[in-house]
Amino acid sequence: MKRPPEVDTWIAELAPADREIYEAVESVILSTGLVDEIVYSYKLPTFKHGKLPVTVATWKGGISLAARSAAPIEAFRAKHPEITGGKISVQFRRDAELPIDDLAELVRAALMPPS
């Protein structure tokens, strides 16, 4: 999937350790097969399925991921209480392993419309 040039610039400006985490997170997001479009929204890479977004950002300890709804975040954090974040976000530390399968589940839940 083609990224907007602004997203490529954003990625290029990341510190190498953060770029590595970002690339792993982006790979998981895209592996769900749900992303229709990548946009640069509020100066951040945002992956959309219809109108539902998942946004990636930086924070002082690494990379964060935010969803529109708290439910997918709560389910993820119930499995990974060691991963911090806010009501609609999780923060992945540079020095921690990325829980790939559970992250993919979070992304699928965030990008699928509620039934």
Which pLDDT tens digit goes with each residue over 12-48?
999 999 999 999 999 999 999 999 999 999 999 999 9
- Global confidence as pTM: 0.95
Q: Which domains does the chain have, with CATH numbers?
A: 5-111 (3.90.1150.200)
Q: With CA atoms as reference, report the closest residue to 59 among 28, 87, 33, 21.
A: 21
Q: What is the pLDDT of residue 115?
A: 67
Which residues, including other chains, have CB under 8 Å from residue 15's CB and lie 6 or more apart?
none
pLDDT in tens, 62-109: 999 999 999 999 999 999 999 999 999 999 999 999 999 999 999 999
- Contact (Cβ atoms closer than 8 angstroms) between residue 48 and residue 82: no
pLDDT at 114 over 90: no
- Contact (Cβ atoms closer than 8 angstroms) between residue 2 and residue 39: no
Q: What is the pLDDT of residue 24?
A: 97
The H or E element spanning position 98 is: none
Q: What is the pLDDT of residue 1?
A: 82
Percent of the chain with pLDDT over 90: 97
